[in-house]
Amino acid sequence: MKVRAQVGMVMNLDKCIGCHTCSVTCKQVWTNRKGTEYVWFNNVETKPGLGYPRRWEDNQHWQGGWKLDRRGRLRLRAGGQLRKLLTIFWNPDLPVIDDYYEPWTYDYHTLIDAPLSDRDPVARPQSQLTGKRMDVRWGPNWDDMLAGAPETAPHDPDLAGLQEQVRLTYERTFMFYLPRICEHCLNPSCVASCPSGAMYKREEDGIVLVDQDKCRGWRFCVSGCPYKKVYFNHHTGKAEKCTLCYPRIELGLPTVCSETCVGRIRYLGLVLYDADRVQEAASEPDEKRLLEAQLRVFLDPADPRVQEQARRDGIPDDWIDYAQRSPVYALAHRWRVALPLHPEYRTLPMVWYVPPLSPVVNALEQDGYEADPDQLFPAIDSMRIPTAYLANILAAGDSETIRQALGRLAGMRSYMRKLEVLGVRDQQAAAATALEPTEIEAMYRLLAVAKYEDRYVVPQAHSEQAQRLSELPGSCGLDFEGGPGSCGALPRPTQAVNESFMLGRRVGAGHRLVPLPMLKPGPGPGH
């Protein structure tokens, strides 16, 4: 057993309102630069829909992720190391930018510069690749909220084999949102695909990053990632990807997408896992049992043997404590309501999803059922749609897994409804979820009440080592003439800073706020 810690995420799809705030804030922080105009480390897709890049889930085509060879050994789907070197001059599996979209801006200047005229000036779209005028024919979230779905949605790879059952007529339609970031997989195929050795997984927190100084732009990570979450910066010629906002995570702060999530759907927490058994789990022969295999790789942070080994493997005590309070571990392992995205890619992804109950409710209403929570639980059993569709996304096609997760969520609603309305702790409803009443109520608090400090349980990185290195020269770099002064008085940024920024409270013991520099009002142009 070799214990490692991983920062994981869970998204509660029932609560995603599709506002794209996560995408926009992420973009403003990370990808509002030349070369990354088309890049969204975080994006929100409407399902059913094509996704971004279009049909990314069709890995028969893109050849991302892993597969088992005839002898059951784990292999990169796109081929091994020799094959990669032979195709290095032209990667046969690389998407082109039109599979994402051609980025554009508008010639806003015409709005200001246009000569006097009878007609209002119009800012026309302009390609950010060439600077030329262009016709916008596809863009980010082009099929948002099922826009154009009669044309596009039938090509959703997750609908394969379900066309008979899913009729995309207006009355029968259903949809939900799927926010996506890098999965920071336990068995990342992008890392395995990088010939330069520029990509790596951090031992301490499992974040997958690209070393920009080592990347040589061979592009195999882009095609090797089955989620298409590594992007090619066409300006720098290097690969870039979601960093899980590691500068924030290291300070114990949630990622930008989590922090700004309006629906409060995101959860961040530690998962301890056994690094020695990752390969074995990813090699599970039966795709439908990959979920179980991955759950077996996770280690129970409350188990004293795990704790002992974790300490031996260099995991700090406070991290073990954080792991025990992890909402990610609770939702994925303890309650089993969170599921991995496309486990069949065999990368053991670490951003999991609580499947949405709402499409089921919608479909039930259309079938003449009342959306009475009490009726939901039995009704899910008779539902074939969209559980089969959800299963294609979150369970390698195994509807039973979806049914159980949805059943537990419906049971929780039923139980809580009786508790809230009638004040009764209904044992029967509790029994249906196969959870103790206290557990159901804890799950409800986490999913429905979703307090900030319960959603984001992220420990600070232990950077004492690095701190010591910078202190070595024995001098302070800040007390130069006109500088901020001696280092001794400078507090290090802490979680408290952000808490107070967000909520204006909770300045933890021993933490001081960093005062923002005040700008002196200077003489304006009119003075």
Partner 1 sequence: MTLQEALLFVALPYASITLFIAGHVWRYRHDKFGWTSRSSQLLERRWLAWGSNLFHYGALAAIGGHVVGLLIPEQLTRAVGISEGAYHLFAAAAGTVAGLACVAGFLILIGRRAYFPRVRHTTSWTDVVVYAVLAAIIALGLIETIGFNTLGAGYNYRPTVGVWFRGLLWLHPEPQLIASAPLVYQLHATLPWILYAVWPFSRLVHAWSLPWQYLGRPYILYRRRYGLARR
At closest approach, how far in Å is the CB of 197 from partner 1? Answer: 6
In single-letter form, the type of residue at position 161 comes to G
Binding partner 1 (rule: CB under 8 A), the pick from 177, 232, 319, 377 is: 232
At closest approach, how far in Å is the CB of 300 from partner 1? Answer: 23
Site residues (CB under 8 A) for partner 1, limited to 170-189:
187-188
Q: 284 or 499: whose CB is closer to partner 1? A: 284
At closest approach, how far in Å is the CB of 521 from partner 1? Answer: 40
Reference 343, options 406, 402, 282; nearest CA is 282
Q: 203 or 365: whose CB is closer to partner 1? A: 203
Q: Tell me if 39 contacts partner 1 by CB under 8 A.
A: no
**Half-sphere exposure at residue 335, Cβ-oriented, CA atoms within 13 angstroms:** 30
At closest approach, how far in Å is the CB of 468 from partner 1? Answer: 9
Q: Tell me if 236 contacts partner 1 by CB under 8 A.
A: yes
Binding partner 1 (rule: CB under 8 A), the pick from 142, 200, 444, 452 is: 200
Q: Tell me if 257 contacts partner 1 by CB under 8 A.
A: no
Strands of 373-488, DSSP E = none
Q: Tell me if 234 contacts partner 1 by CB under 8 A.
A: yes
Joined together, the tokens standing for residue 268 give 């961040």
Q: What's the Cα-to-Cα distance from 511 to each of 147, 259, 470, 494, rounded to whole Å?
A: 49, 21, 22, 7
CB 149 within 8 A of CB 173: yes
Binding partner 1 (rule: CB under 8 A), the pick from 111, 262, 466, 487 is: 466
Strands of 94-157, DSSP E = 104-106, 125-127
Q: 50 or 192: whose CB is closer to partner 1? A: 192
Binding partner 1 (rule: CB under 8 A), the pick from 118, 120, 135, 213 is: 213
Q: Tell me if 89 contacts partner 1 by CB under 8 A.
A: yes
How many residues sit close enough to partner 1 to count as binding (CB under 8 A)?
Answer: 51
Q: What's the Cα-to-Cα distance from 46 to each of 19, 78, 148, 156, 249, rounded to whole Å?
A: 11, 28, 12, 11, 28
Q: 33 or 235: whose CB is closer to partner 1? A: 235
Binding partner 1 (rule: CB under 8 A), the pick from 1, 19, 24, 94 is: 94
3-state per-residue secondary structure call for 24-71: HHHHHHHCCCCCCCCCCCCEEEEECCCCCCCCCCCHHHHCCCEEECCC
At closest approach, how far in Å is the CB of 385 from partner 1? Answer: 37
Q: Tell me if 88 contacts partner 1 by CB under 8 A.
A: yes
At closest approach, how far in Å is the CB of 131 from partner 1? Answer: 7
Identify whether 304 is preceded by a cis peptide bond (ω within 30 of 0): no
Q: Tell me if 72 contacts partner 1 by CB under 8 A.
A: no
3-state secondary structure of 161: coil
How far is Cα 229 from Cα 57, in angstroms, rounded to an integer? 12
Joined together, the tokens standing for residue 107 give 């010639």
How far is Cα 111 from Cα 41, in angstroms, rounded to an integer? 32
Reference 223, options 56, 358, 385; nearest CA is 56
At closest approach, how far in Å is the CB of 463 from partner 1? Answer: 7
Q: What's the Cα-to-Cα distance from 524 to each of 517, 519, 520, rounded to whole Å?
A: 20, 13, 12
Q: Tell me if 263 contacts partner 1 by CB under 8 A.
A: no
Q: Tell me if 238 contacts partner 1 by CB under 8 A.
A: yes
Q: 89 or 480: whose CB is closer to partner 1? A: 89
Binding partner 1 (rule: CB under 8 A), the pick from 21, 91, 126, 309 is: 91
Reference 417, options 377, 387, 386; nearest CA is 377
Q: 251 or 364: whose CB is closer to partner 1? A: 251
The residues binding partner 1 (CB under 8 A) are 76, 81-82, 84-85, 88-92, 94-97, 127, 129-132, 187-188, 191-192, 195-197, 199-204, 212-219, 232, 234-238, 461, 463, 465-466, 469
